[in-house]
A = this chain, B = another copy of it.
Amino acid sequence: MKTQKVILNSDEIPRQWYNIQADIKMNPPLGPDGNPVTPDALAPVFPMNLIEQEVSDQRWIDIPEAVLDVLSMWRPTPLVRATRLEEVLDTPAKIYFKNESVSPPGSHKPNTAVAQAYYNKEFGIKKITTETGAGQWGSALSFACSQFGLECKVYMVRISFDQKPYRKSMMEAWGGKCIPSPSMATKTGAEILKNDPDTPGSLGIAISEAIEAAVTDPSGETRYSLGSVLNHVLLHQTIIGLEAKKQMEKIGEYPEIVIGCAGGGSNFAGLAFPFASDKMNGRDVEILPVEPSACPTLTRAPFVYDHGDTAKFTPLMPMHSLGHAFVPAPIHAGGLRYHGMAPLVSQLAVEGIIDPRSVSQLKSYEAGVTLARTEGIIPAPETTNALACVIEEALKAKAEGKEKVILFNWSGHGLVDLGAYEKYFAGELKDYSLSEEDQAKSESVFKDFPKPEILSSK
């Protein structure tokens, strides 16, 4: 049999998340006054139970039963050996993937959406606002809110809203409300529309609208939610890597190379952090976050203090950043078009625990098509970046004649993003590269900000 899957039983689902904050030293986020941000300062934006997770240094955090219950709709997810890909590449490498595309919204995003909806509900919140670019996150949060009876309002970047009407319908099917951003529903939005009625919008604007809508709700029953970057978001994703480790153990394997695509960093972190922990304890494993060459934060941008959003609402965060005003080229992996990188992932890169890679758009779609025709699942545009790296490493193993064990995260399927494949087949997709000049210009925004320390966790 070519098909080799490792399936865990429902009772083998991990019952705790792994909090890597217990194991690495971090620069604190800084407020407008230049001092570390206090939990209280975040209280209008997030519920306190999530803020506590954001700053926790407890290594293991219990997953609430109600969260496990919803995750169990599709978890544990399968670990699959990509034997058909191995055959086509004729490689001695043994390639495994964690299939996160099997969730109802089709990606890893609900792992944290469900947890965040639960904690908001527990804290007495009635409504959650968020932004979405490509639409994966907005869909996942709408799904999660439907499970906990919360209202969900999603500000979707207008150009995506217009190009991807299916995403709006997905959110609506789960009871979410999806609004093109900028909108007249917020001051920020109204002001932008006054000056530029035809603006395509941006993730930065959408974040500003979602935060404004949350903090200005007079009932005090609304909070904001983010789908990546933050510590608690990455924490919730570690269930991926913890499951994968159990599954690899069952078949007596341990990966020599761990690969995930990286935009804000959450699907990569979800798979990689439990292995990064082993590495910090002396285990030999290469860990490769893969980003698009059009938005090369880890591979080209400096480690600095910068804002998480264009409008500078967020605290200064220690991260690899191309500058908060950076507008990435219009690649189709919308989930990877982010100017910064999660502070936790950035810190691992600074310490050399992970080894970042970048790939071009055409290379990634080529890999995506190869995977669709071998392993059967049409990958999300984001996932294809990881796939290009997997193929590269598998061919390297072949050249070296080594039976390497590769593990990667199949973060989502591309069934609601098929427009990008259409363009790929029509020869209309192109590669983008960031010129050094443009990069320098976009990075000028943080030149007067404080600099993070180069910390070492060892």
**Residue count of chain A within 8 Å CB distance of chain B:** 46
Interface string of A353-383 (1 = CB under 8 A from B): 0000000000000001100110111100000
Which of A164-172, A199-207, A316-324 forms contacts with chain B?
A: A164-172
Task: List residues of A (70-111) whose CB comes within 8 Å of B's CBs.
Answer: 70, 72-73, 80, 84, 102, 104, 106
Most B Cβ at <10 Å: residue of A1, A175, A376: A376
Q: Are A7 and B5 in contact (CB under 8 A)?
A: no
- Cβ of A419 to closest chain B Cβ, rounded Å: 7
Give which listed residue, B1, B143, B422, contacts A165 with CB less than 8 A: B422
Choose among B373, B375, B419 the residue that contacts A175 (Cβ–Cβ < 8 A).
Answer: B373
Chain B residues positioned under 8 Å from A368 (CB to CB)? 173
Partner of A421 from the list B10, B68, B172 (CB cut-off 8 Å) is B172
Whether A147 is near chain B, meaning CB under 8 Å from some CB there, is: yes
Task: Give complex CA distance A359, B84 in Å.
Answer: 43
A-B contact pairs, 21 of them (CB 8 A): A1-B72, A3-B69, A3-B72, A7-B10, A102-B102, A104-B377, A146-B372, A165-B422, A166-B415, A166-B419, A170-B415, A172-B421, A172-B422, A172-B425, A173-B368, A173-B378, A173-B414, A174-B372, A175-B373, A415-B415, A416-B416
A7-B7, A146-B373, A415-B416 given; 6 more Cβ-contact pairs under 8 Å: A3-B70, A102-B102, A104-B377, A166-B418, A169-B421, A172-B422
State whether A419 touches B169 (Cβ < 8 A).
yes
Q: In the complex, what's the smallest C-beta–C-beta distance from A74 to chain B, in angstroms?
A: 8
B418 touches A173 (CB 8 A): yes
Residues of A within 8 A of B (CB): 1-3, 5, 7, 9-10, 65, 68-70, 72-73, 80, 84, 102, 104, 106, 143, 146-147, 165-166, 168-170, 172-175, 368-369, 372-373, 375-378, 414-416, 418-419, 421-422, 425
Instruction: Determine the residue in chain B with the shortest Cβ distance to A70.
Output: B3
- Report A146 CB to chain B, min CB distance, Å: 5
The smallest beta-carbon distance between A299 and chain B, in angstroms, is: 28
Main secondary structure of the interface of A (DSSP, over half): helix
Distance from A271 Cβ to chain B, minimum over Cβ atoms (Å): 21
Query: A85 CB to closest chain B CB, in angstroms?
Result: 13
Q: Chain B residues near A10: list those with CB within 8 A.
A: 1, 3, 5, 7
Contacts of A425 in B (CB 8 A): 169, 172
Knowing A10-B7, A146-B373, A175-B373 are in contact, say whether A418-B2 is a contact too (CB < 8 A).
Answer: no
The chain B residue sitting closest to A416, CB to CB, is B415
Q: Chain B's nearest CB lies how many Å from the CB of A82?
A: 11
Distance in angstroms between the alpha carbons of A421 and B84 in the assembled complex = 36
CA distance A368 to B170 in the complex (A): 12
Task: Quote the shortest CB–CB distance from A322 to chain B (angstroms).
Answer: 31
Given contacts A3-B69, A10-B3, A376-B104, contact A422 B168 (CB under 8 A): yes
| Selected contact of A1 from candidates B9, B69, B415, CB within 8 Å | B69
When the two chains form their complex, are residues B3 and A165 in contact, meaning their CB atoms are under 8 A apart? no
- A422 engages B7 (CB within 8 Å): no
Interface centre among A7, A84, A378 (most CB of B within 10 A): A378
Complexed CA–CA distance, A373 and B166 (Å): 17
Q: In the complex, are the beta carbons of B72 and A173 less than 8 A apart?
A: no
- CB distance B165 to A419 under 8 Å? yes
B372–A173 contact, CB under 8 A?
Answer: yes
A1, closest chain B residue (CB): B69
Cβ contact of A169, chosen from B5, B147, B418, cutoff 8 A: B418
Closest to A421 in B: B169
Question: How long is the Cα–Cα vector from A376 to B368 in the complex, in angstroms?
Answer: 27
Which residues from B are CB-within-8-Å of A69? 1-3
A146 contact set on B, CB distance < 8 A: 372-373, 376
Cβ contact within 8 Å between A422 and B175: no
CA distance A421 to B166 in the complex (A): 9
**CB-based contact A376/B170 at 8 Å:** no
A79: shortest Cβ distance to chain B, in Å?
A: 13
Question: In this complex, what residue of B is CB-closest to A143?
Answer: B376
